[in-house]
């Protein structure tokens, strides 16, 4: 089954404790991206990647890191999480570029205390 998976689905952590949210797709897609969803703000793009070792900033990259060492994986790293990063996070992938249909993962709900 074609899908985007994210882990963990739920995470409660404390300020400053490094964490990684994994994202994996099995569709051989080139384009992958991360979003955060907040009430009243919709989805905002954090980072995106056009291919292995090619990443670029979205609209809200501060406080986040990403890497793309393999085509199928695109982890989101929070080196020192803060309470304002409490949010619902989505990973998505598409065939080639941003204008292609995006396939979203189920979401990761992160709470930073």
> Does the protein bind other proteins through residue 11 (CB under 8 A)?
no
Region from 20-28, 65-73, 74-82, 98-106 binding other proteins, contact rule CB under 8 A: 98-106
Long-range CB contacts for residues 65-69, cutoff 8 Å, separation at least 24:
66/34, 68/32
Q: Does 53 bind other proteins (CB under 8 A)?
A: no
- 90 counts as binding other proteins under rule CB under 8 A: yes
Compare residues 31 and 74 and give the one whose CB is closer to other proteins: 31
Residue selected from 24, 25, 29, 48 as contacting other proteins according to rule CB under 8 A: 48
Determine the Cα–Cα distance for residues 72 and 51; give it in Å rounded to an integer. Answer: 10
**Torsion angle of the four alpha carbons 86, 42, 4, 14, in this order, in degrees rounded to the nearest 10:** 0
User: Is residue 63 at the binding interface for other proteins, with CB under 8 A as the rule?
Assistant: no
CA diameter of the chain: 37
């Amino acid at each position: 089954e074609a899908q985007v998976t994210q882990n963990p689905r739920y995470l409660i952590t404390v300020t400053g404790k490094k964490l990684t949210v994994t994202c994996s797709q099995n569709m051989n897609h080139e384009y992958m991206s991360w979003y955060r969803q907040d009430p009243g703000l919709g989805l905002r793009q954090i980072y995106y990647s056009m291919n292995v070792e090619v990443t670029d900033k979205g609209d809200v990259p501060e406080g986040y890191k990403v890497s793309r060492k393999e085509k199928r994986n695109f982890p989101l790293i929070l080196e020192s999480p803060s309470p304002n990063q409490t949010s619902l996070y989505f990973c998505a992938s598409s065939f080639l570029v941003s204008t292609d249909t995006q396939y979203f993962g189920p979401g990761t709900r992160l709470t930073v205390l």
